[in-house]
Structure 1
Amino acid sequence: MRTLRAREELNVIRVLIVEDAPLLRSGLVSLLSGVPDIALVTAIERGGRLELVARQFEPDVMLIDIDSVNGDVFELVQKVRAELTNSAAILMAERCRPGDLRRAAEAGAAGFVLKDTSPDELVSAILGVARGERFIDADLVFAELAAAESPLTPRELEVLRLAGQGASAEEIAADLVLTTGTVRNHLSRINRKIGARNRIHAIRIAESAGWL
């Protein structure tokens, strides 16, 4: 494993990109390839290969689009960081979901940026993180503070709480004296409000944000 001293002697920051959108991946490759202090080691499409590729290249910085990872990106980052302690992680997202910043910090990520971050700011984030600094997009901080209050109604929280206990839509309907269709509508609305992919994802988001 390369040491920090060896990396300093190389005087170049080795970056690994995880991005499944071809246009964005191409843009990131083009951007970083033009920065003298940065050496792009590889760009992969899916986070499922991150562990293997990170072991192979031992990058200084991993730039990871959270939507390019199937499953829990924070668990993946924590796992990779536990093995490659000298590899810092910057997460990138279209928008910040409730609890994302806290979970990113708990996973050991050193940075979190939005996809509309300017090229100069992204480069600054990579350079700073490689020096051991932390970088969080200011808009993300404000978004996280604004999301501290649950956007869900009391009834939606009741439905989600019961779903989190393993209750089916039919069981939730019986418990809350609602129709099954109404419960399903509540669950669909919850997913839309907090950007969840499905019921399990919605429960995870709500628990991470402290709403349940």
Structure 2
Amino acid sequence: MIRVLLADDQTLVRGALAAMLGLEADIEVVAEVGTGDDVLPAARRTKPDVALLDVQMPGKDGIVAAAELRAEMPSCQVVMCTTFGRPGYLSRALAAGAAGFVVKDAPPEQLVDAVRRVNAGLRVVDPSLAAESLATGQSPLTMREREVLAESSDGGTISDIAKSLHLSEGTVRNHLSAAIGKTGARTRAEAARLAEERGWL
């Protein structure tokens, strides 16, 4: 049996995925959680072979949860399953150790096949997303630029961002200026929006 952990913040989606996977004779859903923070504790309890993680969840996002899971339980393969097929998410997920990346509007058999294939040690990536990712390229933002942009998307002042990230206001301005230039935006709000749309945040 392939033991699967499901993480999705939408109860209906999580339930539907669990029901669909439960129909397969060789797959058993051993845990269902609704936040990224709950992934590792549930995995420790249930020892899954495959974790199927949503990207956008409360608390830690699925990509951070994937990196933690892979670091502590390298035998557990991770498949990211998301509504948002953004190229930046794909590259970040693969860097975090995910073996698969599928979008939720894929046919059910494609998702089941992805679980089986990553469990067998293969890599599975949605083909259209892979093509788009190659065309878009890697995120040009540094980790610090991403952090500053993410903080600024809440509408905080330079001072607020500096305090939150323990940086000087000048450093925050420099990172924002670089991020605005790299995204081709005119304002930090537009830079944050563009980076979010491309999956860079």
Q: So what's the TM-score if we normalise by structure 2?
A: 0.72
Q: Structure 1 residues 109, 187: closer, same or farther in 2, change over 3 A? A: same
Counterpart position of 1:24: 13
Q: Is 1:64 matched up with 2:53?
A: yes
Q: Percent identity?
A: 32
Q: Name the residue aligned to 1:44.
A: 33
Alignment pair present for 1:192 and 2:187: no
Distance 2:139 2:39 in 1: 33
Structure number, greater radius of gyration? 1
5 Å matches for 1:31-180? 31-71=20-60, 73-148=62-137, 172=173
The answer on whether the counterparts of 2:35 and 2:60 sit within 8 Å (CA) in structure 1 is no
1:6 aligns to what?
A: none
User: 1:185: how far off?
Assistant: 6.9
What is the aligned partner in structure 1 of residue 143 from structure 2?
none
Alignment size in residue pairs: 171
Structure 1: tracts of 5 or more residues without a match: 1-11, 152-159, 177-183, 197-201, 207-212
Residues 121-176 of structure 1: per-residue CA shift (max 9 Å, x gap): 0000001111111100012112212322889xxxxxxxx7xx8996759x859xx8
> Quick check: 39-48 or 74-83, which moved more?
74-83
So what's the TM-score if we normalise by structure 1?
Answer: 0.68
The Cα of 1:81 is off from its aligned counterpart by: 1.3
Deviations 1:11-42 (A, max 9, x none): x1010100111221121011011111101112
| Structure 1 Cα separation of the partners of residues 134 and 43 of structure 2 | 33
Determine helix, strand or coil for the equivalent of 1:99.
helix
Query: How large is the Cα RMSD of the aligned pairs?
Result: 3.4
C-alpha displacement at 1:100, in angstroms?
2.4
Q: Per the alignment, in what secondary structure is the counterpart of residue 32 of structure 2?
A: strand
Matched residues in 1 for 2:3 and 2:32: separation? 12
